[in-house]
């Protein structure tokens, strides 16, 4: 059970991060402040209980009460999570620093569509052609 829930939590964290990046890209395009948070810790609590109860037939005015069997099974999953802001001085310095060209090259090498890369990382391209005579 823990493996299954851990995989689901990882998927949730990845979806949350992807959505945050996409929203920030759209906000940056519109020159609106961007915000970064981190789903830093997910706590989980699982509880399984089972039980059964039965009544004892008692005589009541000469008649027996019917027998009753009461099975019970309960499963409880109680995840909690902590969201932390990433608005620290180090984070801000890092996000405002120029991207190392090697990182951009690695993304190109991984096969990401160059049109997407140009939209994300470059405002424009200037070429300089010098003529020699």
Q: Give pLDDT tens digits for 116-132.
A: 887 777 777 777 777 66
Can you give the pLDDT at residue 89?
80
Q: Where are the beta strands (DSSP E) in the chain?
A: 37-43, 46-54, 59-60, 63-64, 69-77, 80-85
Question: Which ranges of the chain have pLDDT less than 70?
Answer: 1-2, 54-69, 131-133
3-state secondary structure of 76: strand
């Amino acid at each position: 059970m823990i493996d299954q829930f851990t995989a689901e939590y990882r998927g949730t964290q990845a979806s949350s991060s992807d959505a945050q990046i996409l929203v920030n890209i759209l906000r940056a395009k519109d020159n609106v402040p961007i915000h970064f948070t981190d789903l830093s810790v997910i706590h989980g609590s699982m509880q399984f209980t089972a039980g059964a109860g039965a009544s004892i037939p008692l005589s009541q005015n000469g008649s027996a009460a019917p027998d009753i069997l009461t099975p019970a099974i309960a499963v409880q999953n109680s995840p909690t999570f902590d969201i932390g802001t990433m608005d620290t001085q180090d984070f801000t310095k890092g996000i405002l620093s120029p991207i190392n060209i090697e990182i951009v090259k690695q993304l190109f090498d991984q096969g990401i569509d160059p049109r997407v890369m140009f939209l994300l990382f470059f405002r424009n391209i200037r070429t300089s052609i010098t003529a020699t005579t």
